[in-house]
Amino acid sequence: MSQHDASPLVEIRGLRFARGNRLIFDGIDLDIPRGKITAIMGPSGTGKTTLLKLIGGQLRPLEGTIRVDGEEVPRLSRVQLYELRKRMGFLFQSGALLTDLDVYENVAFPLREHTNLPEPMLRDLVLMKLQAVGLRGARHLMPSELSGGMARRVALARAIALDPMMMMYDEPFTGQDPISMGVLVKLIRTLNDALGLSSIVVSHDVGETVAISDYIYLLSGGKVVGQGTPDELGRSDSAWAQQFLRGLPDGPVPFHYSADDYAEDLLLGTEAGRG
Amino acid sequence: MLNALQQLGRTALGFFERLGRGHILFYYLLLGIPSVLVRPRLLLQQLFSVGVLSLLIILVSGFFVGMVLGLQGYNTLVDFGAEESLGTVVALTLVRELGPVVTALLFAGRAGSALTAEIGLMKATEQLSGMEMMAVDPIKRVMAPRFLAGFISMPLLAAIFSAVGVIGGYFVGVGLLGVDEGAYWSQMQAKVDLHDDIYNGVIKSLVFGVVVTWIAIFEGNDAVPTSEGVSRATTRTVVHSSLAVLGLDFILTALMFGDN
Ligand SMILES: Nc1ncnc2c1ncn2[C@@H]1O[C@H](COP(=O)(O)OP(=O)(O)OP(=O)(O)O)[C@@H](O)[C@H]1O
Ligand SMILES: [Mg+2]
């Protein structure tokens, strides 16, 4: 890994992606620098999760390039892609724990699959990761016995099990109480700085995200509508940035999924009822 | 009219697309088998849940089917004074036909539906994509062991079904209806042929095992990732694999026993 390389770890150019007839991304350019925490924010349903899946190679773009550590993700063969993914940690919005394994085995899973560590060393590693997320005591619980917030922390422990070069967090803060939220914010920062990771945090918890990120991209309507350090965005007079960071209901960001005119839609029903 | 045509075209295209995806999955399942063989523990787990857990229903059904065969066979044979042949009738019916077929139908209902539901739910809860993001191939890790377990379990279950059925026939024929015990066994021994009957029965059950497990895994993997999607997929597994078993049984029977 070329750690001190000045080139960005993830470089996205002219990305277009559609789900069915709906264009989710319409020409996105985005750089994720090495060793920093980059936040991607935007209203629900803009495609933040989709963007992470594109970076992870689970979805293929319609157009444009996605380069991770110099490798063009959509062009990689299956084997190359899997090699790359061993260096990526991905925290799913849902946690995605394996329900037939307990907490301990879930965290041990990537280690068992990809390494031949002797059992005592594996145990130490797993306990270290669980300790880091404060759930060492929960190691014997099954995923069905965890709360949503706990499940996400176990998933985080699992995601860092292989010491990846980059971490992608999909909504790490939702469902956390204030204490574990604080711990998690600190953890993401510490992991990033101590392990020399590069992190991408997708979130709409404005306060926490602004507090930990070094750089922020604002997405809306398939485009990047604002970017900058938290300070720059806070000071900018862009309507997008102000609406999103302050949580104002009115502004350029629509609250509604694109639809026909509301009044007309209601009238249609009345007419149909009469006809 | 045009709409109906369009609909027909869409349905046909959808069907062939699924057929194609099914075959691609089959290919990857076969490719995944070597990696299962080096991790026997994964296979053992699946042999337990696919095979051992199906055992009870196979034992009970086999016994009842054998008893019915004993009764029906006796009633028919006794008119010709041929009740001594009861053993042959029961054994041939089981080994050639009912053993493989009924076992496969029960297997589709018991193990196939469970496989589909399990894999479908893993997909719906993002466990499969989670594995992919950890650079673990779900086909190799999750599906291939189940596939191989189905392939191995089916012939064993069919053999157990037939064996228990023969005992059921014995119980009714010899125990209750008074057929000569020596005749029951010796006729069976003389008339059931290793090549023509047993091997062909085993081949049938191997084919059924592959087809049922393949359909079950495919439907799970192809399910719409919602509770409704998984429930539909489970139903489709049972319906499609039962129909496939019955259709294939006819073809295989025609090929194996057609010329005598
Ligand atoms: N499997 C799918 N099939 C079709 N459309 C999808 C699928 N998954 C997501 N979408 C659509 O893609 C859009 C983006 O979804 P995505 O999950 O990336 O949003 P998001 O920004 O992560 O939202 P949230 O903040 O609520 O998690 C949504 O509008 C959704 O309708
Ligand atoms: Mg999302």
A50 lines ligand 1 (CB under 6 A): yes
Given a contact cutoff of 8 angstroms between Cβ atoms, the answer to whether B150 and B209 are in contact is yes
Please, what are the averages of pLDDT over each run of 10 residues along chain A (275 residues)?
Answer: 67 90 89 91 87 92 90 90 91 88 94 91 91 88 88 90 90 81 84 87 84 89 86 78 71 68 78 64
- Nearest 5°: the CA angle A81, A82, A86 is 115
pLDDT digits (tens, 9 = 90+) for B156-196: 999 999 999 999 999 999 999 888 889 899 988 888 888 88
B102 pLDDT higher than 90:
yes
Which chain A residue lies closest to B124 (C-alpha atoms)? A96
Burial A117-156 (b: 16+ CB within 10 A, else e): eeeeebeebbeebbebbbbbebbebebeebeebbbbbbbb
Among the partner-chain residues A85, A86, A99, the one whose CB lies closest to the CB of B127 is A99
Residue with tokens 């597994």: B237
Q: Which residue in B has a C-alpha nearest to residue A97's C-alpha?
A: B127
Ligand closest to Cα of A48 equals: 1
pLDDT of residue A253: 64
Q: What pLDDT is attached to residue A268?
A: 80
**Mind telling me how many Å the CA of B96 is from chain A's nearest CA?**
39
The region of weakest confidence among A196-200, B1-5, B94-98 is: B1-5
Backbone angles phi, psi at A29, to 5 degrees: -115, 130
Q: Which residue has a Cα nearest atom 14 of ligand 1? A: A47
Which residues of chain A make contact with B127, given a CB cutoff of 8 A? Answer: 96-99
Asked casually if ipTM beats, i.e. exceeds, 0.85, the reply is no
- pLDDT tens for each residue of A132-184: 888 888 889 999 998 888 888 899 999 988 888 899 999 888 877 888 788 78
| The pLDDT value given to residue B54 | 92
Question: If you write DSSP's letter for every residue of chain B in order, what string do you get?
Answer: -HHHHHHHHHHHHHHHHHHHHHHHHHHHHHHHHHHHHT-HHHHHHHIIIIIGGGHHHHHHHHHHHHHHHHHHHHHHHHHTT-GGGHHHHHHHIIIIIIHHHHHHHHHIIIIIHHHHHHHHHHHHTTHHHHHHHTT--HIIIIIHHHHHHHHHHHHHHHHHHHHHHHHHHHIIIIIIT---HHHHHHHHHHH--IIIIIIHHHHHHHHHHHHHHHHHHHHHHHS-SSHHHHHHHHHHHHHHHHHHHHHHHHHHHHHHHTT-
Query: Order of strands across the sheet with A88-91?
Result: A88-91, A166-170, A198-202, A37-41, A215-220, A223-228
Residue A46 CB–ligand 1 contact under 6 Å: yes
- In tens, the pLDDT along B110-136 reads 999 999 999 999 999 999 999 999 999
Separation in Å, CA of B21 to nearest CA in chain A:
17
Identify the pLDDT of residue A184. 82
Q: At what angle do helices A148-159 and A119-132 cross, to 10 degrees?
A: 130
Q: Helix (H, G, I), strand (E, B), or coil: what is residue A73?
A: helix
pLDDT > 90: percent of chain A: 35
pLDDT at A271: 73
Helix (H) or strand (E) holding A242: helix A239-246
Tell me what pLDDT residue B232 has. 95
Residue A254: what pLDDT? 64
Is there a contact between B101 and B203 (Cβ–Cβ < 8 Å)?
no
Query: Which protein residue has the closest C-alpha to ligand 1 atom 7?
Result: A19
| Cβ of A19 less than 6 Å from ligand 1 | yes
- Tokens found for residue B141: 């890790």
Three-state SS letters, A122-187? HHHHHHHHHHHCCCHHHCCCCHHHCCHHHHHHHHHHHHCCCCCCEEEEECCCCCCCHHHHHHHHHH
Q: Which atom of ligand 1 is nearest to the CA of A93?
A: 27
Average pLDDT, chain B: 92
The pLDDT value recorded for residue A127 is 92
pLDDT band at B205 (very low <50, low <70, confident <90, very high): very high
Nearest ligand 1 atom to the CA of A204 is 25
Cα diameter, chain A:
75
Chain A interface includes B11 (CB < 8 A): no
Burial of A261 (0-12, 13-18, 19+ CB in 10 A): exposed
Identify any residues that bridge with A219 across adjacent strands, giving them in sequence order. A224
Higher pLDDT, B241 or A247: B241
**Residue contact A96–B137, C-beta within 8 A:** no
Q: Which of A85, A96, A110 sits opposite B126 (nearest CB)?
A: A96
For the cut 90, the answer to whether the pLDDT of residue B44 exceeds it is: yes
Q: What angle do CA A211, A125, A121 make, to 5 degrees?
A: 165
Q: How many Å lie between the centroid of ligand 1 and the Cα of residue B92?
A: 58
**Contact assignment for B134 to A110 by CB distance below 8 Å:** yes
Quick one: closest CA in B to A164, which residue? Answer: B134
Distance between CA A74 and CA B59 in Å, rounded? 52
Looking at the partner chain, which of A85, A97, A109 has a beta carbon nearest the beta carbon of B133?
A85
- Ligand 1 pocket mutation pick from A15, A19, A55 by most atoms within 8 angstroms of CB: A19
Is the CB of B127 inside 8 Å of chain A's CB atoms? yes
Q: How does pLDDT run across B55-72, given as a tens digit for each residue?
A: 999 999 999 999 999 999
> What pLDDT score does A252 carry?
65
| Contacts B124 to A, Cβ<8 Å | none
pTM of the model: 0.87
The CB of A174 under 6 Å from ligand 1? The reply is no
The pLDDT, as a whole number, for residue A45 is 85
Minimum distance, in Å, between the CA of residue A26 and any CA atom of chain B: 25
pLDDT at A255: 65
What are the residues whose beta carbons fall under 8 Å from the beta carbon of A177, sequence distance 6 or more?
A149
